[in-house]
Amino acid sequence: MSARLDASPTPIATSTPPPVQLDHPIDPLDLLEGLPEIPPYDEIGPVDARALSKTLFERLESLEEGTHEHAYVRNTLVELNLALVKFAASRFRSRSEPMEDIIQVGTIGLIKAIDRFELSRGVEFPTFAMPTIIGEIKRFFRDTSWSVRVPRRLQELRLDLAKAGDELAQQLDRAPTVAELAERLGISSEEVVEGMAASNAYTASSLDAQPEEDDSEGALADRIGYEDHGLEGIEYIESLKPLIASLPSRDRKILSLRFVANMTQSEIGEELGISQMHVSRLLSRTLVRLRKGLTVEE
């Protein structure tokens, strides 16, 4: 059973079975001779994969980019080293993003590492590639996973605070204070508070999310504020105060009896010793004066 890569880029597999050792060791030179067929990648163990990768990198340096041979060798290196991506992606399994997306992003980092790797540096490829793969995954979380876009400085500060918080919590056996976090990171307490506030933008809760079992409140949508129409009246009241204060005392008395004591015009007339018609005329005149005063104020 065998598989051959085409010259054009092929989709990256994301569900490869665990590698197993071959019954007979692979001679990488035999596999590369004339670019023959390569055994299925799930049948190549880690030791053989590393040896084959080294020989493939030697061959890749001598090939011209864009040729059939270059694409064949490059794609083979990607398939052989997907285990590095899966290992790096497993560190982020607690995140809410699908593991398939994390693996795809990590594969981009693997491809970048393959394109940049040089055998002359004397470094093993896994050692060289892992920081690039993890960096690509972290960049994915930093740039695309925030519910609300915040400056990159605050995104990086959130990661630093999370790391420092975990370390201090283990040392102190309690949650660290703002001052302790600031001292650990060499920043001010105000910056720590700012970073903590920015962390709230990383995830968002649905307005329809149901409360916890021990939460007596309803859904978040049921707890948000509502429009208070009474607020509009506050502005008018504050504008009327100086206008009412400038009225004659009898007019102020009539207003108070009518709109505060809720007395009828007849009752006001009896209270002041005047007729109901006179009360009506005075009240109408006062209201017209107040309306004009509000219009001028606006």
Q: What digits encode the pLDDT tens for the residues 54-65?
A: 888 888 888 888
pLDDT at 58: 86
| Position 161 confidence tier, pLDDT thresholds 50, 70, 90 | confident
Mean pLDDT across 218-232: 62
38 versus 51: the higher-pLDDT residue is: 51
Residue 151 confidence (pLDDT): 72
For residue 216, what pLDDT is reported? 55
pLDDT mean over 77-92:
88
Of 92, 87, 110, nearest to 102 by C-alpha is: 92
Domain 28-144 matches domain 232-297 at the CATH topology level: no
- CA 258, CA 284: separation in Å to the nearest integer? 12
User: In CATH, which of 1.10.1760.20, 1.10.1740.110, 2.70.98.40, 1.20.120.1810 is domain 28-144?
Assistant: 1.20.120.1810
Domain ranges of the chain: 28-144, 152-206, 232-297
Higher pLDDT pick, 6 / 194: 194
- What's residue 107's pLDDT? 92
Interval 125-145: pLDDT, tens: 888 899 999 888 888 876 666
pLDDT, mean over the chain: 76
Judged against a pLDDT cut of 70, whether residue 278 lies above it is answered with yes
The reported pLDDT for the residue numbered 217 is: 56
pLDDT (tens digit, 9 = 90+) per residue, 229-269?
666 667 777 888 888 888 899 998 998 898 888 899 999 99
Is residue 179 predicted with pLDDT exceeding 80?
yes
pTM to 2 decimal places: 0.42
CATH of domain 152-206: 1.10.10.10
Q: What is the dihedral of CA 159, 160, 162, 168, to 10 degrees?
A: 170
What CATH code would you report for 232-297?
1.10.10.10
Please tell me the distance from the alpha carbon of residue 195 to that of residue 60, in angstroms, as a whole number.
45
- Alpha-carbon distance of 182 to 197, in angstroms, equals 15
C-alpha span between 239 and 134 (Å, rounded): 63
pLDDT band at 162 (very low <50, low <70, confident <90, very high): confident
Q: Is 60 exposed, middle or buried (0-12, 13-18, 19+ CB in 10 A)?
A: buried
Least-confidence region, from 17-26, 43-52, 54-63, 209-218: 17-26
pLDDT of residue 38: 53
- What pLDDT is recorded for position 206? 58
pLDDT at site 94: 72
Question: pLDDT category, 109, cuts 50, 70, 90?
Answer: very high
CA distance 265 to 254: 9
